[in-house]
Amino acid sequence: MATGIERTPKAPRNGRTRRGVMARGALAAALTPLLTAFRTPRSAADDGASFDRVHRGRRIRGTRDADGHWHVTLDGRPLHLMRRADGTWLSMVDHYCSYPAPLDAARAAVDALAPGEQLRGGGHGVRA
């Protein structure tokens, strides 16, 4: 039975409505994966200007120049690394997987090489 008086909901005192809070939460949930994809992964090797490690009997050395480019060698031979758009790294030896830092990519290259196999000295870092 209609009385002719319509009730209007009272606005919350803090200015927030349940619908508004839910919409902001949904927006944040939708944007989180997108923002995470553009985050640059970091590791200990990214923080310094160089590294010198031995992995499985092979010497991995890396230095970062003033422009931020990494120069990595594997047993004294250049290992070509590429930075992907998502901030990860891959090498020409193991170019099917990407890694969070140049040192991680170099270790994976060592793992992919057969014992005694060397890098070609042409600067590209591909297998011999």
**Is the residue at 105 inside a domain?**
yes
Q: Can you give the pLDDT at residue 17?
A: 77
| CATH number of the domain residue 65 falls in | 3.30.1880.10
Check if the beta carbon of residue 73 is closer than 8 Å to that of residue 88: no
Residue 39 falls inside a structural domain: no
Classify residue 29: in a domain, yes or no: no
Report pLDDT for 78. 94
* pLDDT at position 10: 65
The total of structural domains in the chain comes to 1
For residue 116, what pLDDT is reported?
Answer: 76
Query: 37-75: per-residue pLDDT in tens?
Result: 555 455 444 556 799 999 999 999 999 998 888 999 999
> CA geometry: angle at 59 spanning 58 and 65, to 5°?
145
Q: How far apart are CA 74 and CA 77, in angstroms?
A: 5
Residue-level pLDDT at 44: 45
Q: Which of 2-11, 16-25, 44-53, 71-80 has the lowest mean pLDDT?
A: 2-11
Structure tokens at 102: 């140049």
Is residue 124 assigned to a domain? no
Tell me the percentage of the chain whose pLDDT exceeds 70.
Answer: 68
Q: How wide is the angle at C-alpha 65 spanned by C-alphas 61 and 67, nearest 5°?
A: 145
pLDDT value at residue 94: 80
Which amino acid is residue 57, in one-letter code? G
- Helix residue ranges, H only, the chain: 18-37, 44-47, 102-112
Q: Could you tell me if residue 13 is inside a domain?
A: no
Residue 63 structural domain = 44-112
